[in-house]
Amino acid sequence: MPIFEYKCAKCGQVTEFLEKSAAKTTHTCPGCGAKNMTKMFSTFTPMVKQRTSGGKCGSCPENSCPYSGD
């Protein structure tokens, strides 16, 4: 399930909620309790496995790469 960001119209707090894309859920602001939350447009960054020689991704400290397959 994707994570969506909502902004409270009353206090301005931005909160993330895990929900289905087509959900018609009404969220309550955890800051002030208002029910007037507006879904925000957010960007995303896909996680891409990048391997270099030796099967390591090249960005992790020695012997701690979660993508090394060790």
pLDDT in tens, 13-38: 999 998 887 778 889 999 999 999 99
pLDDT in tens, 38-69: 998 876 666 665 555 555 556 666 666 666 65
Token representation of residue 36: 């007037």
Name beta bridge partners: 34: none
d(CA 26, CA 19): 11
pLDDT on residue 44: 67
pLDDT on residue 66: 65
pLDDT on residue 41: 82
The CA-based diameter of the chain, rounded to the nearest angstrom, is: 53
User: Do 67 and 52 form a contact (C-beta atoms < 8 A)?
Assistant: no
pLDDT on residue 20: 84
